[in-house]
Chain A
Amino acid sequence: MWSRAKGRNHADLQPYCSGTRFSLVTGTKDKWFYALLAATAAIFAYLIGYIFLVTPLAQLQAGGLAQKIFYFHVPAAYAMYLCGAVCCIASALYLYSPTDARDAAARAGADCAVVFGAMVLGSGPLWAKKAWGVYWTWDPRLTTTLLSVLVFVSVVMLRAFAGNGEAERKFASALGVLGTVTLPIIHYAVLMWGGNHPTVITKTGGGLRHPAMTHALLVGFVAMTLLAGLLMWCRTRLTLSLSRVARLEEQAIATGQIDY
């Protein structure tokens, strides 16, 4: 089913492109996609309701009402880790044995890691303004998060502007693997170097002193996992269809069917 980059044939991608319309989802996987979409929408609706109706306010030092950003901010950071891991694994597999599907998954992982990273870096400063009094401080975790997002941005930019050849794909894959190395550094940055960023999720309970807070956070993790899966699914399809366009154009040029 997954086509190899070498010996490409557009027919390899036919299972994803049945009919004259190549939709976001195709074939028998449609029902799974829509089931996932419905589950994600339902869990987000539940999460938002739970956060604002059930979860208590945090103490003022945590930002009071602004602390409710936490229930999306932290799961978004986790989703960034998840997408980064997908990018890393798919990139490593692509370097080992290139296929369009592996390249598409790596690219989708990087794309989604940038989106979730932007959500983290966008929401964090607004919460920090209330909790710390400043939008940004060069805290180890904040700095390493910014650097990691910039690495994934570079992967996305490379793929967007440097062409779609084998060399560019492999270079982007290598960058994707190396970029993911920064993720554990982010995670352990607070443990290694201290800083202002809190460690509210700890084995001893940390800063989540109310069961409803813990529940909301766990639901947030599930919701963001589903959302990350949906987004990566869509972006993988998009990249596969771009590969199919490239194959069809090669075929059409070779047979003189299109003019440039």
Chain B
Amino acid sequence: MTQAQPEPATSATLSDPSSRSTEFVAVQGGGETTSAASLLIGAYLLMWGLLFVFVFLSWRRQARVETRISELEKAIAAGGGDGHARQ
């Protein structure tokens, strides 16, 4: 397994474009104690959670729209009288 060699942690100089990061360096003052595993699990849960919520909300809204289309089509086909669709 070939890995990038660790370098001493330094703070990047924001004002100098030539000093932009090509590796991951620690920001000065950050006291990191959280476990990598919990952060990894949290990130994956967050990403997949967002995705599933979006898909679920889209699916639920699509179902409601389908119902509404069906109601309107029935009302129009009935040509009035008892075929009214209430708002």
Q: B75 and A195: CB pair below 8 A?
A: no
- Contact code string A201-232 (vs B, CB < 8 Å = 1, else 0): 01000110110000000000000000100010
Q: A210 and B1: CB pair below 8 A?
A: yes
B20: which of A195, A207, A209 is its contact (CB, 8 Å)?
A195
B27: which of A65, A133, A191, A202 is its contact (CB, 8 Å)?
A133
Size bracket of the A interface: 35 or more
Bound-state CA distance A115–B23 (Å) is 28
List the B residue with the shortest CB-CB distance to A139: B14
Q: B18 and A20: CB pair below 8 A?
A: no
Closest CB of chain B to A85's CB: distance in Å?
A: 19
- Contact code string B10-30 (vs A, CB < 8 Å = 1, else 0): 001111111111111111011
List the B residue with the shortest CB-CB distance to A64: B36
Q: Determine the chain A residues whose CB is within 8 A of the CB of B25 once the complex forms.
A: 61, 132, 196
Chain A interface helix/strand/loop/mixed: helix
Q: Determine the chain B residues whose CB is within 8 A of the CB of A131 once the complex forms.
A: 24, 26
B59: which of A17, A24, A122, A199 is its contact (CB, 8 Å)?
A24
Binding stretch for chain B, among A28-36, A89-97, A166-174, A234-242: A234-242
Bound-state CA distance A23–B39 (Å) is 38
Q: A207 and B76: CB pair below 8 A?
A: no
Bound-state CA distance A23–B67 (Å) is 10
- Contact code string A161-183 (vs B, CB < 8 Å = 1, else 0): 00000000000000000000000
Closest CB of chain A to B41's CB: distance in Å?
A: 9
List the B residue with the shortest CB-CB distance to A137: B27
- Contact code string A241-255 (vs B, CB < 8 Å = 1, else 0): 110110011011001
Bound-state CA distance A231–B57 (Å) is 12
List the A residue with the shortest CB-CB distance to B32: A133
Bound-state CA distance A80–B33 (Å) is 31
Q: B66 and A22: CB pair below 8 A?
A: yes
Q: A132 and B24: CB pair below 8 A?
A: yes
Bound-state CA distance A237–B84 (Å) is 26
Q: Determine the chain A residues whose CB is within 8 A of the CB of B1 once the complex forms.
A: 56, 210
Q: B65 and A238: CB pair below 8 A?
A: yes
The 5 closest A-B pairs by CB, nearest first: A133-B30, A65-B36, A248-B72, A66-B36, A62-B24
Chain B interface (Cβ within 8 Å of chain A)? 1-7, 9, 12-27, 29-32, 34, 36-37, 39-40, 42-44, 46-47, 50-51, 54-55, 58-59, 61-62, 65-66, 68-70, 72-73, 75-76, 78-80, 83-87
Given A69-B39, A258-B75, 5 additional A-B pairs, CB 8 A: A59-B24, A122-B47, A137-B27, A196-B27, A198-B21
- Between A and B, 12 residue pairs with Cβ closer than 8 Å are A21-B66, A22-B62, A22-B69, A61-B26, A64-B36, A133-B31, A196-B12, A196-B21, A235-B58, A238-B61, A245-B65, A258-B85
